[in-house]
A and B are shown apart, each in its own frame.
Chain A
Amino acid sequence: MAGADPQALKDTILAAIDAADNPDALETVRIESLGKKGELTTAMKSLGQLEGDARRDMGQALNAVKDAVTQALDARRSALAMAELNRRLASETVDVSLTPRPETAGVIHPLSRTLEDILAIFAEMGFVVAEGPDIESDYYNFTALNMPEDHPARQEHDTFYMTPDADGQRKVLRTHTSPVQIRTMEKMQPPIRIIAPGRTYRSDHDATHSPMFHQCEGLVIGDGITMAHLKGCLIEFCRAFFNVDDLPVRFRPSYFPFTEPSAEVDIGCSRDGGGLTIGAGADWLEILGCGMVNPRVLEYCNIDPNEHQGFAFGMGLERLAMLKYGIPDLRPFYDSDLRWMRHYGFMPFDAPSVHLGLS
């Protein structure tokens, strides 16, 4: 086959490659051209019959053809594979408007969120958390807080009593978080700067009262702590918590047996247009009680009132949550209606902090 025409051979093979419309056909072309008995292989084997320059020239020409064929085969193979992939992908088309596999999102209760907001703010002011039990002795809940037996203020507490023990001692469900003040002062000497959140109980159940609710207590005992610090601390808290820089905050005289002087704290609000807006306005909303720790309470805890003084405050978490997040009713807080939880709950990983913002 010394008279092979490389150009013609090339044209024929490339045409066959082009014509191959599936991988099998292409493989046939490859075998028929480059296989052991393929045309090009055969042509190359016959080079030995040529001599000298002719052999060299023909060799070069056939090698060029081989390169071209190999390239064409690769290109065609890729093209066919791509076409095949495209065909397969087209067959795999789905309705992308369908829903993905479901995942249930859990939520955090608004009371927890409120508490974490409070923690973030008071942490910034150097407070640490203290705790106490829900079932309290009469002593911690009342007596040591300057509410001896038959103190008229006791009646306002609507106390839940536990079954008396063999000695006739009757424990109570704590009516406030204030017993943690006593427990803390018994354990540590000033300076003290704590907040004590927790469950509290009163025997009252209607649209605005729940037999169990939550309070957060605060206590600061230190040198030269005055009512001016109390005012500064709580104004700062209210403004940070409600995220209103110019929130009006008013201190009104009040009475708690364990503080003297005592005050109730109101924040400004407006009821214009039916809704409630926290901020400067015509109305006031009562949100917490506070005062300078009564010297007798310090004496109960063996802290010398001539040496040390400080302030205490207490706030209701439900009320703060309702005001901040616009939750109208109290009862659903404890009902765990999933619809309510999803509506008023919080994403788990959006934790309030001072540097990333509260909410």
Chain B
Amino acid sequence: MKFTWSWLKDHLDTDADMSDILDALPMLGLEVESVVDRSQALKPFTIARIISAEPHPNADSLRVCQVDTGDTVIEVVCGAPNAAAGLVGVFAPVGAYVPGIDVTLTEADIRGITSRGMMCSEREMMLSDEHDGIISLPEDAPIGTSYAGWAGFDDPVIEIAITPNRADCLGVRGIARDLAAAGHGTLKPLESKPVEAKGESAISWKLDLPADQAHLCPRIAGRSFAGLTNGASPKWMQHRLEAVGQRAISALVDITNYVMIDLGRPLHAYDADRVDGNTLTVRLAKAGEDMTALNEKTYKLDAEMLVIADAGGADDLAGIMGGERTGVSDATTTMFLEIAIFDQVSVAMTGRKLNIHSDARYRFERGLDATSPDTAMEYVSAMILDICGGKASEITAEGKGADWQRQIAYRPQRCLELTGVTVADNKQKNILETLGFTVSDANNQDDHSWQVSPPPWRGDILGSADLVEEIIRVSGYDAIPELPLPRDRVVSQAAVNAEQKRPITLRRVMAGRGMSEAVSFTFLDENTAKRYGGGDDTLKLVNPISTELAVMRPSLIPVLMDIVARNQARGDSDVSVFEIGPVFADDTPAGQHPVLAGLRHGMTAAREWTGSQRPVDWLDAKADAMAALAACGVKTDALQVRADAPDWYHPGQSGTLNQGKMVLARFGAMHPAFMEAHDIKGPAAGFEILLDAVPMPKSKAGKSSQRPLANLSPYQQVGRDFAFLLNSDVTAEKLTRAVRGAGKPLVTDVSVFDVYAGKGIPDGQKSVALAVTLQPTKATLTEPEIEAVSQAIIAAVEKNCGGVLRG
């Protein structure tokens, strides 16, 4: 919402400085976005007349002008094609800073002639991009006076942000009212003496709405005007409109725009001669009916849209935009004025369907002063007659009026209860009344409650909390005391539960393993989503920013792949990243799954002199996955590994980590075809931890911190190595499981220290060497005991794995 300082003072009688008002506005909830005072930059520029313009003796394209600046005549060399004797323009003297060319003028010798100033174009003053010539002002512009003052640029323009509840402040008067309530002056009465009205209106209203749709137009008023002259509006009005970003068009159009900003009251003016018939009907559009609006676009309407129609059909989108056919033009002499209330929801819906954003819609859908069709009529009429001459008819109106009056029971004590600040009853009452509320405290003996009625322009006030806000907003938020939140315990409890703590722990674990944390968009393109098992219809955005960000991600791997690709494109190719975030199986809360995923790419390290670098592989990913699971309290040596990872992994170098049927994690080298789709070169290995499948460590209530007793054997542990010849498809997991099973309870650790196939080993077989740790708990192991365990191990491997001990 933009307005000018002088415009505000039309409504607010105040001695306050502008700076005081600018400080007061935000504290009332009217946030100042900008203040532009164009007069400051334009101060040195004055109106001057070119008395003579002679060709420059030494340059064909230049002229030597004698310029009358009011108090003297100055010689100026000018290159503008329109610099001619008699032109009234804008002069900048030596010493003036010309913003458009970023130069402070000095006396300049231009091809032998001294130029002592400059005649300016609009672009040179940064008023517009206009640079075809110097500004040409009307003949009667006063020579020697300030250009900014004459042109109306000396009126600072203030822009404030209006929150959706403050429809009343979409007019200058509403802002003035708030300032008055806060003690920054008084609200001037609105001049609205009835104008002289003669005869019936040439056009009358008809409400043609189904009984259950009467609320769409509770009130509509109008009156016709004849004998108008629709020329240019007065300079002061043009200046104000242009200052707030409205283009001056013609007096009638300008008046409607002016009142919209002045009172926040959109109007519509029909050219009465162009209205077909003498009735304007408020009705729902006929399905398929179309209409060309003032923006010259034609709209196809549906049966839910409210329109105003003449005999020729719809030609006004009620509350949104008028029609081109019946709109006013420069030639208009008879005009019919519309001031109406339309249903906010209906206006919003139609505006949205037709995608029309107009100043009128903006105000209608936020809610107008419900009584304004009647209260604003004379104010507007007087302005029209003043500016365009002519005569006004009597008023014609339909509709029983909007149902805006309501009583709110309000206890003044509520202010203290809600905000902790005491505002005296009489002050509360005074604030409400200055804002236009009616306060009745007559029958307040019983519960000390008042009956408060909001004014017709405050549709947002519905309950006592709203009234409290009005009171403390005006009396000042600064008066609210600061109290600490009461503490119900001295040592605070944990803010997170075990599940919420996990991501925090995992983040440290993964970063500690050399991976960096990414935070990335949760949506990606549809093809990628489909490739990673997603792309369901329910997970597609209807209105994505771009096709690249159109579907909720089914997996974190593609996101991490893209990160690697982007970094690789920048020349950073050894990348290790992880992210903890949601993936989506469907659009329900249960379909959103938290996942930790990581991806390592390229070499484990930069090339360096010890030669420690090697390409990343599936083992890195498996180690990452196991570390993450261990950090979640999972006993990783009890997990089952299966070679059934999803498609995006290398089919022969990937797997899943499982607890029974529950898949906890996937890991592996990435599939080359998937990497290629992301434009990644070089090896990559990744993992995904499906966090909601990972069980929480069991803890007994009340004893959750207690550990089982440590059982540290005093007897020496013994190591024994075995090498077995096995079929190639026997997994290490199967082998070690057999060994563990056979060696219970002595075997505490089994690890593979060599896997060999090739020369000396039959085809289809491999040799796997194991280091087995035996830990006695009752006595030191004897050779026969060790031998017995060894034989049991060998027998179990033979039985379960078909393995033979190598000699």
Contacts and interface: CB of A to CB of B under 8 A. Distances in A.
Contacts of B480: 227-228, 231, 251
Interface in A164-197: 164-165, 170-171, 173, 193, 195
Contacts of B563: 336
Most buried by B among A111, A164, A231: A231
A255 B164 contact: yes
Contacts of A337: 566-567, 570
Interface in B528-542: 537-542
A119 B482 contact: no
Contact of A342 (B468, B484, B489, B516): B516
A229 B465 contact: no
A338 B567 contact: yes
Interface in A115-137: 116, 119, 122-129, 131-135
Contacts of A141: none
Interface string A208-229: 0001100000001010011111
B473 A163 contact: no
B482 A125 contact: no
Most buried by A among B31, B348, B487, B495: B495
Nearest to B581: A199
Contacts of A232: 482-485
Contacts of B487: 125-126
B28 interface: yes
Interface string B591-605: 110000000000001
Given A126-B489, A152-B348, A106 B29 contact: no
A348 B511 contact: yes
Contacts of A126: 485, 487-489, 492-493
B522 A199 contact: yes
Nearest to A169: B587
A333 interface: yes
B164 A253 contact: no
Interface string B345-382: 10011000000000000000110000000000000000
Interface stretch (A59-67, A95-103, A275-283): A95-103
B637 interface: no
Nearest to B517: A109
A254 B163 contact: yes
B520 A227 contact: no
A351 interface: yes
B612 A102 contact: yes
A58 interface: no
Interface in A241-270: 250-255, 257, 260-264
Contact of B164 (A123, A124, A151, A250): A151
A49 interface: no
B442 interface: no
A274 B510 CA distance: 38
A226 B519 contact: no
A205 B546 CA distance: 10
A62 B469 CA distance: 113
Contacts of B519: 109, 111-112, 333-334, 336
A162 B473 contact: no
Nearest to A131: B500
Interface residues of B, number: 101
Contacts of A199: 522, 581-582
Nearest to A220: B485
Contact of B508 (A254, A261, A339, A349): A349
Contact of A203 (B512, B521, B543): B543
A201 B543 CA distance: 12
A33 interface: no
Interface in B1-40: 26-29, 31
B512 A156 contact: no
Nearest to A136: B589
A135 B514 contact: no
Contacts of B575: 338
A257 B465 CA distance: 12
A229 B482 CA distance: 6
Nearest to B610: A101
Most buried by B among A116, A203, A232, A261: A261
B577 A152 contact: no
A199 B578 CA distance: 17
Interface residues of A, number: 94
A161 interface: yes
Contact of A348 (B27, B512, B606): B512
Contact of A135 (B497, B517, B587): B587
Contact of B465 (A108, A173, A294, A334): A294
Most buried by A among B163, B349, B546, B578: B163
B477 interface: yes
A134 B522 contact: yes
B26 A104 contact: no
A341 interface: yes
B418 A336 contact: no
Nearest to B503: A112
Given A152-B366, A236-B484, A211 B545 contact: yes
Contact of A165 (B349, B472, B507, B538): B538
A295 interface: yes
A272 interface: no
B463 A295 contact: yes
Interface in A276-321: 292, 294-296, 309
A253 B418 contact: no
Contact of B496 (A105, A129, A211, A295): A129
B555 to A, nearest CB: 15
A339 to B, nearest CB: 7
B802 interface: no
A222 B664 CA distance: 41
Nearest to A354: B492
A235 interface: yes
B29 A102 contact: no
A127 B204 CA distance: 63
A105 B28 CA distance: 51
Most buried by B among A260, A349, A351: A260
A222 B485 CA distance: 10
B206 to A, nearest CB: 27
B234 interface: no
A210 to B, nearest CB: 8
A150 B348 contact: yes
Contacts of B29: 252-255
A113 to B, nearest CB: 10
A254 B163 CA distance: 7
A92 interface: no
Most buried by A among B27, B365, B469, B522: B469
Contacts of A150: 344-345, 348-349, 365
Contact of A102 (B417, B546, B570, B608): B608
Contacts of B541: 160-163, 173
Nearest to B546: A205
Given A102-B608, A226-B419, A255-B163, A203 B482 contact: no
Given A111-B519, A163-B540, A261 B465 contact: yes
Contacts of A201: 522
Given A226-B418, A295-B465, A105 B514 contact: yes
A233 interface: yes
Contacts of A105: 514
B121 interface: no
27 contacts: A101-B605, A101-B608, A106-B516, A126-B488, A129-B496, A133-B592, A134-B582, A150-B348, A162-B539, A162-B542, A193-B485, A203-B545, A211-B521, A222-B486, A225-B485, A226-B418, A226-B419, A227-B419, A228-B483, A231-B483, A250-B478, A257-B164, A260-B463, A261-B468, A309-B418, A333-B519, A336-B567
Given A104-B576, A254-B163, A345-B516, 13 more contacts: A99-B608, A123-B494, A126-B488, A127-B495, A135-B584, A173-B541, A227-B421, A228-B482, A235-B482, A255-B164, A262-B469, A337-B570, A349-B512
Rank and list the top 4 A-B pairs by shortest CB-CB distance, nearest first. A228-B420, A253-B29, A255-B163, A348-B511
